[in-house]
Amino acid sequence: MISLGIFAKTFERNSVLGVLRAVKDHGFSVAHFNFACLGMDAMPDVIPDAAVQEIRAAVQESGIQLVGISATYNMAHPNEQIRRDGLEKLETIAAVCPHIEAPLITLCTGTRNTADKWAFHPDNNSQSAWLDMAHSMEQAIVIAEQYNVFLGIEPELANIISDPVKADQLIKEMGSDRLKIIFDPANLFEAAGLPEVKRLIASGIDLLSPHIAMAHAKDRTAESEFTAPGRGMIPFDYLLEQMAIAGVDAPLIAHGFAENEAGAVADYLKSCL
């Protein structure tokens, strides 16, 4: 049975327990965690022991499992020092994952855009951009092996790994079972009709199904704006059907909407399960 979850940072509370209780109260059973929930940077330099203990206690008391933790930095930034700094912070997060039973760290394969790691740059398709990203990934995999965690990458139009074919290429190049896929249909197109969206979903899952560790649920309108699941054109029932056909049993994590929409999103996605 696919678990339904949400980005924990959707909820602003005074404690991790408050956040995870809100996750549960709004109809979700798992969460994707972000250290911003503790009032820290999403990629902190240091994670105090007290913070780790707070997360552990909140998970145990709430019953909400953390299926992933965000550790996104620009793995293709043209400045090597910035990439190195991101890698060091990734290791800081990886080191606490075994203590809070979080199996997956989610990454950003990056861009040559120096202002925004989620923004496109024309040089993203260059060999040098690929090589910088791949070198970052090799180093990240060493960290993942050391701390027994997995790494999730997401095909995203604006990033170096812009589509499922490139994701498959990277997985083959890396040759490591530590590298997993986060599948988000809304990131595979800007403007498309329903038949094309379904084709992208089916072909992407067919290619990447052995590696999918998480699916994302955010929607996109016909005008190419992101919106809450159920308000756009992503056929989530079809997504879940294709996942089931391919034997993908991965959590579905909703995000990209305000807290006051969370309950309705949970109800809608449950109707698709």
Tell me the CA end-to-end span of the chain in Å, nearest whole number: 9
Q: Containing H/E element for 105?
A: strand 104-106
Instruction: Band the pLDDT of 19: cuts 50, 70, 90.
Output: very high
Confidence at 239, pLDDT banded by 50, 70, 90: very high
pTM: 0.96
CB atoms within 10 A of CB 222: 11
Residue 100 tokens, joined: 């809070």
Q: Which two tokens stand for residue 67?
A: 């299926």
Question: Any residues with CB less than 8 A from the CB of 147 and at least 6 apart, and which?
Answer: 91, 94, 95, 97, 98
Largest CA distance in the chain: 50
Answer whether 248's CB lies under 8 Å from 205's CB. Answer: yes
* CATH C-level class of 4-272: alpha beta
**Predicted local distance difference test score (pLDDT) of residue 232:** 94
If we measure between CA atoms, which residue out of 256, 235, 267 comes closest to residue 28? 267
Please check whether residue 110 is in contact with residue 75, taking contact to mean a CB–CB distance below 8 angstroms.
Answer: yes
Residue 22: partners with Cβ closer than 8 Å, 6 or more residues away: 11, 13, 259
The H-assigned helical ranges of the chain are: 16-25, 49-62, 80-100, 127-147, 164-174, 194-208, 236-245, 262-272
Confidence of residue 222 (pLDDT cuts 50, 70, 90): confident
Give the pLDDT confidence score for residue 223 in this predicted structure: 84
Mean of all residue pLDDT scores within the chain: 98
Give the mean model confidence (pLDDT) for residues 218-233: 92
Better-predicted residue by pLDDT, 114 or 223: 114
What is the rounded (10 degree) CA torsion for 49, 145, 89, 3?
A: -70
Instruction: List pLDDT tens digits, range 131-151.
Output: 999 999 999 999 999 999 999
SS3 254: strand
Q: What is the DSSP string of 81-104?
A: HHHHHHHHHHHHHHHHHHHHT--E
Is residue 113 within 8 Å of residue 166, measured between CB atoms? no
The strand pair at 219-220 and 226-227 is best described as antiparallel
- Cα separation, 271 vs 231, in Å, equals 14
Q: Which residues contact 176 (CB under 8 A, 6 or more apart)?
A: 141, 144, 145
Residue 243 CB-density burial (10 A; 0-12 exposed, 13-18 middle, 19+ buried) = buried
